[in-house]
Amino acid sequence: MILKNSFLYLAGIAFLTLSKLKNMFQGYKSPKPFDMSHTSKCIDYDIHVVNEWLNHINKYTNNSYTIAGKNVLELGPGSDLGVGLCLLAKGCAQYNAIDVNNLMYETPEKFYNQLFSKLENMNIQKDIINILKAQLAKIKGGRESRLRYVVDKNFDIVAAFGKSNIDLVFSQAAFEHFNDIEKTISQLSEVCKDGALLVAEIDLKTHSRWIRDVDPNNIYRYSNYVYNLFCVPGTPNRYRPYQYKEVLARFGWSNISIVPLNKLNYKIIAYSGMHKNYSAEINQMDYLSIMLCATKRC
């Protein structure tokens, strides 16, 4: 076991070095698990993400919530407006999104054309699809639209969306990248209306390919000092579920639910070789990804 842990420690350092070099030369790339050239996969991914959020809202609220007419905000939307278009198709009044990286400028036209065809095949009415096309044309033309996308390297959510405007916040595989979780959650408390919902899927695993399958908790093997040597913009922040819970409660969120979506079967494996900061059970190291739901207190 000691030998295996030493090997994984060193292998992780090699992957952190590679990802630092990649970031230095290429910047932030390919936010989805696959490239945008895989159009059908990207569309299916967006549709799946929205459906999963809605399934979790239904469980969280006992089917008592509707997204119709809601002013929605997505944090870290990634490469395209597919999620926004799906949410408008399902009746949201307005889709807003904010990111630190402008990843949408290179979304090919083919992606949106194929998404509209897919929505047609899913029996979304023609007049709704025409509305979506019009909103997409407006945002692309720089006009006011029911799709709004803000890129701000300071990730200033309040400056972008004002106070007490948002009904519902979504996020997918993005919270783990935020630099300052306290600031982000405190700002969410300001932009959200009382009673607003937060629904966020968070990937707690190591992000580098290959090692994430072999050793999903690899990033937790390192002290803060060692880990910070390899940090680049977007490096996972290593926040654990109890820490999200604590910060949300502190900034006025209640009924906080954390559901593991992907778990390690054996706790002994989950804790083996972890740095002492992550060796206590409070860290729930068997949780590899979670769905977090919370309600802003009235």
Ligand X SMILES: C[S@@+](CC[C@H](N)C(=O)[O-])C[C@H]1O[C@@H](n2cnc3c(N)ncnc32)[C@H](O)[C@@H]1O
Of residues 187-216, those binding ligand X (CB under 6 A) = none
Does residue 76 touch ligand X according to CB under 6 A? Answer: yes
Reduce the secondary structure of the chain to three states and give it as a string: CHHHHHHHHHHHHHHHHHHHHHHHHHCCCCCCCCCCCCHHHHHHHHHHHHHHHHHHHHHHHCCCCCCCCCEEEEECCCCCCHHHHHHHHCCCCEEEEEECCCCCCCCCHHHHHHHHHHHHHCCCCHHHHHHHHHHHHHHHCCCCCCEEEEECCCCCHHHHHCCCCEEEEEEECCHHHCCCHHHHHHHHHHHEEEEEEEEEEEECCCCCCCHHHHCCCHHHHCCHHHHHHCCCCCCCCCCCHHHHHHHHHHCCEEEEEEEEEEECCCHHHHHCCCCHHHCCHHHCCCEEEEEEEEEECC
Among 12, 77, 82, 216, binds ligand X (CB under 6 A): 77
Does residue 173 touch ligand X according to CB under 6 A? Answer: yes
Residue with the closest Cβ to ligand X?
78
Nearer to ligand X among residue 179 and residue 279 (C-beta): 179
Of residues 79-138, those binding ligand X (CB under 6 A) = 99-101, 103
Does residue 234 touch ligand X according to CB under 6 A? Answer: yes
Nearer to ligand X among residue 22 and residue 297 (C-beta): 22
CB of 179 to ligand X, least distance (A): 4
Stretch that binds ligand X, among 25-33, 110-118, 210-218, 265-273 (CB under 6 A): 25-33
Does residue 257 touch ligand X according to CB under 6 A? Answer: no
Stretch that binds ligand X, among 13-21, 28-36, 104-112, 239-247 (CB under 6 A): 28-36
Does residue 78 touch ligand X according to CB under 6 A? Answer: yes
Pattern of binders to ligand X over 214-233, x per CB under 6 A? -------------------x
Q: Which positions lie near ligand X, rule CB under 6 A?
A: 28, 31-32, 76-78, 99-101, 103, 155, 172-174, 177-179, 233-234
